[in-house]
Structure formats: C-alpha cells, structure tokens
Chains A and B, each alone.
Chain A
Amino acid sequence: MLELPAGIHEAANAGLRFHLTAPLALASGSLLVLCGENGAGKSTFLERVLIPSARSTHRILYLAQDMDLQRHTMAATLALLGQEVPVGITSLALAWIQACPSRDTLILDEFEKYLRPEQRETLDRLDFSWVVKVSHLCETRPRTQHRRGFRLLFERTNAGPDVDVRLEQAW
C-alpha cells in the first residue's frame, strides 16, 4: 500500500501546510494524479511530504521538474552501471527508468509533456505497481494499465500557507 494519514502535513522550510482530508491508501496497480493550479504546492507536497513518507517502504523512481539538473544524475548513474548514455533528455530519462531493477513506484513531475506517443507507450509497458503524476489538468481518463485511478486535488487560497488536499477516485 502507498499510504499517508489524513491530517495536517507541514512542508518544512517551504512555508506550506497541507490539509489532507482523507487518508491516502492506494493498493498496488493504482495511478494517482496530483492536480491543481500553478503554485498550489503539488511539487512541494511530493518532495516534502509524500516521498519522505513513502521512501522507507517503497523503492521510488522520481523524475523531478528540474530535469535539466537531474539529467546529470541520470547520466552519471547510467555511466556507473556501464550502460550507454543517450543524448536527448527524454531518451536519457527512459533509459534511466529502464535501467532500474525495481518496478515499485514511479513518480513523474510533469515529465510526460516531453514524451512522444511511442515513448509514452514504452513507459506504460514498464508496469510499475504505483504511478504518481503531477498535472495542471485534472483530466484522468481510465487507463487500462492501472486497475484504479485517483485524483488528489490541491486548492491554495490567496497564496497563503494552507493548502487543502482532497482525494477522489476517478475509476
């Protein structure tokens, strides 16, 4: 299970308080999409709340928003594993994901926008147990490769420190 208790989750140093109205308890085969306006705190929630909470029980592959920086970590990792390092950023990221022996949890912070359809298919075929995505759009059409789909809706009022986080099941 990918779990997070309901209640207030403070994001240290980011000045945000996330009010999770219901507990998050996602079984294997779930897709979770984080939706909300720009600046609602989706990436902060991922890095300061969800990832720290899940990393002790899950093997996490995280593609951050600052891909321009993370690409160097990916390149160094592939080189240390003795694998070819592709030049393009998406090919590099896909090679990095494929090189990982674990298919536990994949977290993508707006990475999909870089992908071509065939690259998206390659990613879908990798069959991760849990997939978490960040999106500005709340559209979550049922995906055959995930048994269950959820939306986590972020609402931040007047750019203040409090962010309401609401869980909805999409299918």
Chain B
Amino acid sequence: MVVLKLAAILLALGLYFRLLVYGPWYEHIDIQAALLIGLLVINTFKGGIKGTRQVFGFVLPFVLSLLAFGALFQWMGLLGRSDWLADSLIKALVFPNSVLAVKLCLQAITFRDIVILPLPNRVRRLAIVLKAVMEKCTPVLHRHRFFMDLSPHFEGRRWAKLQRLGGVIVAAYISLYRETEKTVTLIEHRRSYVRKQQ
C-alpha cells in the first residue's frame, strides 16, 4: 500500500513536470493560473493561512523581480523580442506552481511511510533524517532572518543588506548541520533502545 502511495506521488510529480513545466501546457497561462489557485487552496487547507503566507514570502521576491525584468526587457526591446512580458508572466506562474507541487508531494510522504517502505536500513535512516531536517528548514530560516534583521551590528556598513543575507545563510547552514547531527544521534539511540527491548 505504501509502495503504491509513493509510486502515485512520484507519478503525479513526474506528470506535473512532463506536462506543465517541460511539456505542451507550459505556455497555457489559463491552465497555469487555475493550477496555482488549486495548489494554493490545497496548501491553505493543509497548512493554514500562515503556511500559505510563508509560501508567498518565499516566492514573491523572485516572482516580482522576474516580472520587473520582463517589463524592463520588453520596454527596451531586448534582442528584438516582443514577448518578454508574456514569457515572464508564464515563469511567474510556473515557479510558484513548481514550489507548491514539490512541497505538497514531499509533505504527503509521512515518517510512517518511510518506516514501512521496504528499504535498506541505511537508506531508510537517511530518508528519515532528510525529512526531519527539511521540515525544520523553513522555521529555522525565518527565525534567523528575524534575528539578523533586528541586529544593529551592520548598520552604516557597506553592503549591509548583503552581509545580513550572508549571515542568515551561514547561520541557517550551521543550524541545519547541527540539527542533522542531533537527528542521527537520536535515531541511533532509538534503534539501540528498540534492539535492547527486543
């Protein structure tokens, strides 16, 4: 049953990329827009309004800069093309769609599924660690951004925003590295405990 579920998730994801990213429906703005609305509704249903707001916070800077560059290139008539804006608009829909599709599919795979899956022990352990760490990525990143935005250490310095951004990335990387180590230790303890019980 779990194998079927996983196969269905991977098939759905594969179909999405085959049809809507690298396939015939890529340029269909109406289909992409309808899919975006659908995915946002599912995401809100599963993760609440806060979860959807976080997705917006993640994708909006990229989407807006994409549209801004599209408008600028259109106005400049860059490379003699007149479809810059339309192209940017499609990408501005495809990017959040892809983020949401991958996010929802990965979220649908539970820890229980991973435990039940017929996998070699090492692969199973790796999959559990990966899922545990991935789930912590977003809150950790937001927390470090909050700390760094508040910190007055870089005020008045050159490239303060860039330094802050660099600081957030470094801090998040160290945090996730530590978190991975902790998760591995925790799994090892649990496994040895279960072995002893048996």
Which of A51, A75, A104 contacts B171, CB < 8 Å?
Answer: A75
Q: Is B135 an interface residue (CB 8 A)?
A: no
Rounded to whole angstroms, the CA-CA distance of A72 and B147 in the bound complex is 10
Q: Hey, which chain B residues are within 8 Å of A61, CB to CB?
A: 151-152
Rounded to whole angstroms, the CA-CA distance of A100 and B154 in the bound complex is 8
Q: Is A77 an interface residue (CB 8 A)?
A: yes
Rounded to whole angstroms, the CA-CA distance of A4 and B150 in the bound complex is 18
Q: Are A72 and B171 also in contact (CB < 8 A) when A62-B147, A77-B153 are?
A: yes
| B 131-162 to A, binary, CB cutoff 8 A, 1 in contact else 0 | 00000000010011001101111111000000
Q: Hey, which chain B residues are within 8 Å of A96, CB to CB?
A: 153
Assess whether A59 is in contact with B152, with CB atoms less than 8 Å apart. Answer: yes
Q: Is B3 an interface residue (CB 8 A)?
A: no
Q: Are A77 and B148 also in contact (CB < 8 A) when A66-B143, A69-B143, A102-B155 are?
A: yes
Q: In residues 157-187 of chain B, which contact A (Cβ within 8 Å)? A: 163, 166-168, 170-172, 174-175, 178
Name A's interface SS: mixed
Q: Is B50 an interface residue (CB 8 A)?
A: yes
Min CB–CB distance B74 → chain A (angstroms) = 37
Which of A70, A72, A100 contacts B152, CB < 8 Å?
Answer: A100
Q: Hey, which chain A residues are within 8 Å of B166, CB to CB?
A: 76, 80
Q: Hey, which chain B residues are within 8 Å of A100, CB to CB?
A: 151-153
Interface size of A as a range: 20 to 34
Q: Is A170 an interface residue (CB 8 A)?
A: no
Assess whether A99 is in contact with B152, with CB atoms less than 8 Å apart. Answer: no
Assess whether B171 is in contact with A101, with CB atoms less than 8 Å apart. Answer: no
Q: Is A60 an interface residue (CB 8 A)?
A: yes
Which of A60, A69, A76, A81 contacts B150, CB < 8 Å?
Answer: A60
Name B's interface SS: helix
Assess whether B153 is in contact with A72, with CB atoms less than 8 Å apart. Answer: no
| A 79-122 to B, binary, CB cutoff 8 A, 1 in contact else 0 | 11100000000000000100111101000000000000000000
Q: Hey, which chain A residues are within 8 Å of B143, CB to CB?
A: 66, 69-70
Assess whether B174 is in contact with A72, with CB atoms less than 8 Å apart. Answer: yes
Q: Are A13 and B50 also in contact (CB < 8 A) when A76-B167, A101-B153 are?
A: yes
| B 11-48 to A, binary, CB cutoff 8 A, 1 in contact else 0 | 00000000000000000000000000000000000000
Binding site for A on B (CB under 8 A): 50, 140, 143-144, 147-148, 150-156, 163, 166-168, 170-172, 174-175, 178
Chain A to chain B contacts (Cβ below 8 Å), 28 pairs = A51-B150, A55-B150, A59-B155, A60-B152, A61-B151, A69-B143, A69-B175, A70-B143, A70-B147, A72-B144, A72-B174, A73-B148, A73-B167, A73-B168, A75-B171, A75-B174, A77-B154, A77-B167, A79-B170, A80-B163, A80-B167, A81-B153, A99-B153, A100-B151, A100-B153, A101-B155, A102-B152, A104-B152
Binding site for B on A (CB under 8 A): 13, 51, 55, 59-62, 64, 66, 69-70, 72-73, 75-77, 79-81, 96, 99-102, 104
